[in-house]
């Protein structure tokens, strides 16, 4: 089962896993009775008989899935098809940095020391879905960037589901370690190519050492039968910068549990998101920033546009410990509801124990600015197009911090597409 296929039975990871199994058995799946899951129900998903390990391997041609890659530029690629690594579609490296497979990192003694220090260290030991992943994950991305290094190009982690199984559950496990003064850019995407049910329960651990910089982009534009539970845990040291951008444009149910732990001073943590949903889609952004040391900053900016019967949740928790003086924590969640049936629940949770801090939060749920609409109309742009253009501008505001220009253009186009805006990008 799982990593056991290729990892020595003596490996300490097995102890971690059996403990995780025990913990999961104790807790089971989260229910709506738990505060954190009040607005997101997994009941319907639990009724589906998911196959955890697909029976046969499937192959994909690059030309058929090219559009899901950031093909405008050269990237490293770690690609999985139905949870199984595709060496054919991937491009990994060990040249100065390690961009490879989790199973390989666990199996080879040369990585043992790093694994001992980092694997399952920041991930929760008792959150049930995280323990489920720890117990049953079989593959994922392993990214290790040593001191003062930066990979030559961004890294793409792609998961494809082909529909080989009537319903498939995937549990990828990623580990990203960025040492002192090192830097990395990662793009993660889950893509179902089928109408069959897919449930992904992903765990990513990110460690940023002193002065490390991590840019992590999550593209969630999946099919109507694909659900994703993303659990991301980030441990930051002094002066490190970690930015996570989450673009949620589709999927049946998407839950983003994003947890930042600031274990040092002068840290910058940034979380940004654009959510554009329709039909009966559901997205829940659940963030936590724990300010443990003084002089750190966190920035949260989530924009949502909800149409049809889509539902959204934003729950942003900020904890400022007593010694974490001079903390600057900002949180912003703005939403536009385009239809009467769409709903959004937004909830800031601030627990501040220090007295010399700057914390702000703001939630808005509203319609478009009528003055702005009038402005566009006086330029001859019909009301319908003007509305779409304003929504585009509203969402786009978040993209200023996207540092890969080609990705920014790609997201621009996705947003425009989603909103039916024709801006003639050829110009």
Partner 1 sequence: MLKIKNLHAQVEDKEILKGINLEVKPGEVHAIMGPNGSRKSTLAEVISGKEEFEVTEGSIELDGEDLEDVAPEERAHKGIFLSFQYPVEIPGVSVTNFMKTAINESGKAKGLEDMPANEMLKLIREKSELLEIDRKFLSRSLNEGFSGGEKKRNEIFQMAMLEPKVAILDETDSGLDIDALRIVANGVNKLKSKDNAVIVITHYQRLLDYIVPDFVHVLHDGKIVKSGGKELAMELEEKGYDWLKQEAAI
- Specify whether the CB–CB gap between 303 and 398 falls below 8 A: yes
Q: Which is nearer to partner 1, 62 or 375 (CB)?
A: 375
CB atoms within 10 A of CB 372: 15
For the chain, the farthest-separated pair of C-alpha atoms sits apart, in whole angstroms, at 72
Q: Is 265 in the site for partner 1 (CB under 8 A)?
A: no
**CB of 67 or CB of 425, closer to partner 1:** 425
CB of 280 to partner 1, least distance (A): 28
User: Least distance in Å: CB of 332 to partner 1?
Assistant: 14
Instruction: Tell the smallest beta-carbon distance from residue 395 to partner 1 (Å).
Output: 8
At closest approach, how far in Å is the CB of 402 from partner 1? 11
Minimum distance of partner 1 from residue 369's CB (angstroms): 8
Tell me the β-bridge partners of 337.
306
* Minimum separation from the CB atom of position 246 to partner 1 (A): 18
CB 3 within 8 A of CB 103: yes
**Taking the complex as a whole, how short is the minimal distance between the CB of residue 263 and partner 1, in angstroms?**
34
DSSP string covering 183-199: EEEEEEEEEE-SSSEEE
In 3-state terms, what secondary structure has residue 389?
helix
Place of tokens 């899935």: 65
Min separation Cβ 416 and partner 1, Å:
9
| Tokens describing residue 123 | 């991930």
Nearest-CA neighbor of 296 among 320, 251, 265, 318? 265
- Quick one: 353 or 374, whose CB is closer to partner 1? 374
Structure tokens at 370: 């009528």
For position 385 contacting partner 1 by CB under 8 A, the verdict is yes
CB closer to partner 1 out of 104 and 393: 393
- Residue from 198, 228, 310, 395 in contact with partner 1 (CB under 8 A): 395
Give the nearer residue to partner 1 in terms of CB position, either 12 or 382: 382
Nearer to partner 1, 6 or 377 (CB): 377
User: Cα dihedral sign for 100, 101, 104, 110?
Assistant: positive
Residue of 299, 420, 313 whose CA lies nearest to 365: 313
**Pattern 353-382, binding to partner 1, x per CB under 8 A?**
----------------xxxx-xxxxxxxxx
Residue-wise DSSP of 7-76: S-TTSTHHHHHHHHHHHHHHH-S--TTSGGGTT---HHHHTS--BSS-SS-----HHHHGGGS-TTS--E
Nearer to partner 1, 46 or 367 (CB): 367
Q: From the list 100, 386, 404, 414, which residue makes contact with partner 1 (rule: CB under 8 A)? A: 386
What is the rounded distance in angstroms from the CA atom of residue 60 to the CA atom of residue 64? Answer: 7
> Which C-beta is closer to partner 1: that of 62 or that of 374?
374
Residue 28 or 382 having the CB closest to partner 1: 382
- Give the angle 87-234-264 at the CA atoms, nearest 5°: 135
Among 9, 59, 110, 427, binds partner 1 (CB under 8 A): 427
Q: Smallest distance, Å, CB 92 to partner 1?
A: 35
Min CB(27)–partner 1 separation in Å: 43
CA distance 4 to 13: 9
And the tokens for 315? Answer: 């729950």
Stretch that binds partner 1, among 34-42, 51-59, 314-322, 387-395 (CB under 8 A): 387-395
User: Token pair for residue 354?
Assistant: 């220090």
The residue (of 207 and 392) whose beta carbon lies closer to partner 1 is: 392
Which of these segments, 20-28, 31-39, 73-81, 417-425, binds partner 1 (CB under 8 A)? 417-425
**Which residues, including other chains, have CB under 8 Å from residue 148's CB and lie 6 or more apart?**
179, 180, 181, 182
Size of the site for partner 1 (CB under 8 A): 32
Kindly list the residues in this chain that would bind partner 1 in the complex (CB under 8 A). Answer: 369-372, 374-383, 385-386, 389-390, 392-393, 395-397, 399-400, 412, 422-427
């Amino acid at each position: 089962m799982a990593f056991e296929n290729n990892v020595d039975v003596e490996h300490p990871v097995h102890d971690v896993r059996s403990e995780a199994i025990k913990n999961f058995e104790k807790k089971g799946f989260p229910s709506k009775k738990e505060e954190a899951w009040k607005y997101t129900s997994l009941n319907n998903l639990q009724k589906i008989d998911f196959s955890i390990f697909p029976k046969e391997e499937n192959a994909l041609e690059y030309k058929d899935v090219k559009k899901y890659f950031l093909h405008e530029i050269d990237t490293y690629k770690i690609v999985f098809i139905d949870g199984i690594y595709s060496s054919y579609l991937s491009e990994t490296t060990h040249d100065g940095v390690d961009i490879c497979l989790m199973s390989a990192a666990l199996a080879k003694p040369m990585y043992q020391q790093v694994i001992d220090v980092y694997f399952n260290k920041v991930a929760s030991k008792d959150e049930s879905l995280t323990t489920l992943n720890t117990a049953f994950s079989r593959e994922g991305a392993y990214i290790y960037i040593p001191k003062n290094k930066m990979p030559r190009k961004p890294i793409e982690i792609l998961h494809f589901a082909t529909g080989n199984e009537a319903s498939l559950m995937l549990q990828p496990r990623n580990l990203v370690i960025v040492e002192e003064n090192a830097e990395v850019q990662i793009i993660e995407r889950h893509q179902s190519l089928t109408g069959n049910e897919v449930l992904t329960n992903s765990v990513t651990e990110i460690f940023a050492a002193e002065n490390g910089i991590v840019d992590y982009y999550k593209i969630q534009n999946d099919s109507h039968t694909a659900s994703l539970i993303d659990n991301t845990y980030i441990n930051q040291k002094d002066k490190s910068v970690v930015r996570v951008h989450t673009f949620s444009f589709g999927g049946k149910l998407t839950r983003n549990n994003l947890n930042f732990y600031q274990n040092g001073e002068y840290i910058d943590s940034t979380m940004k998101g654009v959510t554009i949903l329709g039909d009966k889609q559901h997205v829940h952004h659940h963030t936590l920033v724990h300010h443990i040391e003084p002089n750190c900053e966190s920035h949260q900016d989530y924009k949502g546009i909800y149409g049809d019967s889509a539902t959204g949740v934003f729950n942003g928790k900020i904890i400022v410990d007593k010694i974490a003086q001079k903390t600057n924590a900002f949180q912003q969640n703005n939403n536009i509801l385009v239809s009467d049936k769409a709903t959004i629940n937004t909830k800031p949770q601030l627990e501040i124990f220090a007295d010399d801090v700057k914390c702000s939060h703001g939630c808005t749920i509203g319609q478009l600015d009528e003055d702005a609409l009038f402005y566009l109309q006086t330029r001859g742009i019909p009301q319908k197009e003007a509305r779409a253009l304003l929504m585009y501008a509203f969402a786009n505001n978040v993209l200023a911090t996207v540092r890969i220009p080609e990705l920014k253009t790609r997201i621009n186009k996705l947003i425009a597409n989603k909103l039916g805006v024709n801006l003639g990008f050829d110009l």
